């Protein structure tokens, strides 16, 4: 179980590094039926902290990543992107 938890933590940490590297900006809307489930109390904070909405730009393309639910072995999410913006 610990190996799966560590692997998930590594994937989510890499995702957060990408988001931080490209900066925060407004991004496209999300589905109306989207919902975020709060992680259970037994979930380690290092994993539970990834729950929620992350947004930024990949180059000049805005995006959002939503982690709708997360547990020690898997996460369910949405990736949404917008139109390329020229500067």
Q: pLDDT grade, residue 3 (50/70/90)?
A: low
Q: pLDDT grade, residue 25 (50/70/90)?
A: very low
Mean pLDDT calculated for residue range 38-66: 89
Q: Is the pLDDT reported for residue 4 higher than 80?
A: no
The pair of structure tokens assigned to 8 is 């998930």
> Domain ranges in the chain?
2-81
For the chain, strand residue ranges (E) read 52-58, 61-70, 75-81
What pLDDT is attached to residue 39?
A: 92
Q: How far is CA 47 from CA 50, 53, 61, in A?
A: 6, 14, 27
**DSSP reduced 3-state for 59:** coil
Whole-model pTM over 0.85: no
Q: Is the pLDDT reported for residue 67 higher than 90?
A: yes
């Amino acid at each position: 179980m610990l190996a799966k938890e560590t692997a998930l933590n590594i994937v989510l940490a890499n995702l957060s590094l990408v988001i931080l590297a490209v900066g925060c900006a407004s991004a496209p809307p999300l589905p109306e039926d989207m919902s975020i489930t709060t992680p259970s109390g037994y979930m380690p904070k290092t994993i539970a902290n990834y729950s929620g909405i992350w947004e930024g730009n990949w180059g000049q393309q805005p995006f959002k990543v939503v982690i709708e639910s997360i547990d020690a072995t898997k996460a369910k999410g949405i990736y949404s992107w917008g139109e390329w913006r020229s500067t």
